[in-house]
Structure 1
């Protein structure tokens, strides 16, 4: 679609589940002459929570910047999946193994055209993990509207950072997760006070290697994120560190009516625990109007 500002914007549904749902993400070729205020305005006009601005000049590693209507993000997992699907689609290729530069880091990416969309994986890098002090948890739980006895007894809250810290919060039961109605203003204040991007609340499935989750990030202007791929990578790192699983599929987006899936694997490296994150993407609208599952 072409907005009133004259910029061609492609809407990519990132992290779809069985070809449906996913997080609508605006993707467009970046113009270095754009001001950051214009980039924020483009996000508002697109009506998405995030936008990826892709600078893919010939002969260079694509640089991708991510914005919400409130400001720039250091990185964005589902935005990376959307950006790499956009690049594969624009190149009319079947498969592309490349690199992306975001937030001062350059990392490997893979995009492959499948029958039901474009499968994208990226190297999230090292995830730093640390425990969460009980004293800092009371305000978060109150803002989320849950009680200490709603928490999982076989898991513990964890602060995880692939570059920006967020709280991973395990609850015992799926109904608790789905019924949460946080006080977003209070949660934003608590997250800012503690230095968290947001809260990734999850419950592990009885099925090994599966979970459901919701991400609340009002401190950066996103009340509830339909999908948060980076937090899924963080969860994979946490589960690996606590000797549970090395890979995970996390279902998200159900409360928004947009069922979504993110995949992640974790491994030990010299630098620490590293994660790789993946998901499916569909090109929903754009200047050429084609769908990502179509042959080039």
Structure 2
């Protein structure tokens, strides 16, 4: 007898279908073993698929898989999961979510805006040789790098390499050497190389970004909640932006524009938020 699992695909950080970042969502994941979870993630072929288990009232567990491997945390898939809980169960308010980086408080607002609290930020400087290797792998010149913005490793759940460019045009024209970036990320224990500029498409935005994650099987991620949270923390820590709610742009370069809300408080509590839209629901046959 054939068995199936209900899955959905949700476009996060947008309210427009086919924009934002698509994530797979499995709402009732209890009893699905890791091997099958990996197969589902590969079949859906989103950059990440999130598997949701409810442990108690207001208490859940989220686990995240790329098509190639499990990862500890994923911002846009978390937004997709929270949106699905709101849509399927009319859930709102504060909840706790168990992840591989710990228990994180999250919030679903009545209007469908969702927020994930990220892990306490950490920062590490890049050595000169590694920095030069990143610049080379991005196929840019040192003159393209903004000299007074953070170029470092930052963490709010995952380590990301933050690279500041002076110009938006240079960011849009990037054609990285993905194999080299993957090797650098593996060596440093980083999930991605997150490139950003303070030049934006829209006047109300603070930063424009692109994210390259070939080490976990995703050459370019349309929208990255964790990396943008780490970037927001880094920019506040360096005194570049004020501790408050900001709008970060991403996805223009690959035709999936969207907006990530990044909130950093005076005491460096980092939250990432946004809205989402369900693109489809389906029954995925597993045997």
Question: TM-score, structure 1 length as denominator?
Answer: 0.87
Q: Output aligned runs, 1:128-207, within 5 Å.
A: 128-205=122-199
Of residues 61, 64, 73 in structure 2, which corresponds to 1:63?
61
**Preserved contact between residue 16 and residue 277 of structure 2 (Cα < 8 Å):** no
1:9 maps to 7
Q: What displacement does 1:87 show?
A: 0.8
- For 1:9-28, list aligned pairs within 5 A: 9-16=7-14, 21-28=19-26
- Structure 1 residue ranges without an equivalent (≥5): 289-296
SS of the aligned residue for 1:21 comes to coil
Report the Cα offset of residue 130 of structure 1: 2.4
Instruction: Tell me which moved more, 120-129 or 201-210.
Output: 201-210
Aligned pairs for 1:1-296 (under 5 A) are 6-16=4-14, 21-59=19-57, 61-93=59-91, 95-114=92-111, 118-205=112-199, 210-245=206-241, 246=243, 247-269=245-267, 273-287=268-282
Root-mean-square deviation (CA, aligned residues, Å) is 2.1
**For the residues of structure 2 that align with 1:88 and 1:281, how far apart are their CA atoms?**
11
Shift of 1:274: 2.3
Alignment partners' CA distance in 1, 2:205 and 2:271: 15
Q: How many residues align?
A: 278
Q: In 1, Cα distance between the equivalents of 2:58 and 2:263?
A: 28
Q: CA offsets, 1:64-120, max 9 Å, x none?
A: 000011111111111111111111111135x33222111151122122353xxx311
Q: 1:104 to 1:140 in 2, by over 3 A?
A: closer
Contact 1:67 1:73 (8 Å CA) reproduced? yes
Displacement of 1:30 in angstroms is 4.3
What SS does the aligned partner of 2:5 have?
A: coil
Checking the alignment, whether the CA contact within 8 Å between 1:136 and 1:194 is kept in structure 2 is no
**Gapped regions of structure 2 (runs ≥ 5):** none
8 Å contact kept, 2:41–2:67: yes
CA shift for structure 1 position 20 = 6.1
CA–CA distance in structure 1, aligned partners of residues 126 and 23 of structure 2: 32
Q: Is the 1:143–1:183 Cα contact (8 Å) retained in structure 2? A: yes
- Tell me, in whole angstroms, the C-alpha distance in 2 between the residues paired with 1:277 and 1:205: 21
Q: CA deviation at 1:28?
A: 0.7
Distance across 2 between alignment mates of 1:58 and 1:173: 48
* Residues 175, 104 of structure 1: alpha-carbon distance in 2 compared, 3 angstrom cutoff: closer
User: C-alpha displacement at 1:268, in angstroms?
Assistant: 4.0
For 1:19 and 1:139, how far apart are their aligned partners in 2? 37
Q: What is the deviation of 1:239? A: 1.2
The whole-number CA distance in structure 2 between the counterparts of 1:261 and 1:125 is 21
Change (3 A) 1:75 1:113: same
3-state DSSP of counterpart to 1:180: coil
TM-score by length of 2: 0.90
CA shift, 1:19, in A, is 6.9
Q: How far 1:255 sits from its partner (Å)?
A: 1.7
Question: Secondary structure of the equivalent of 2:143?
Answer: helix
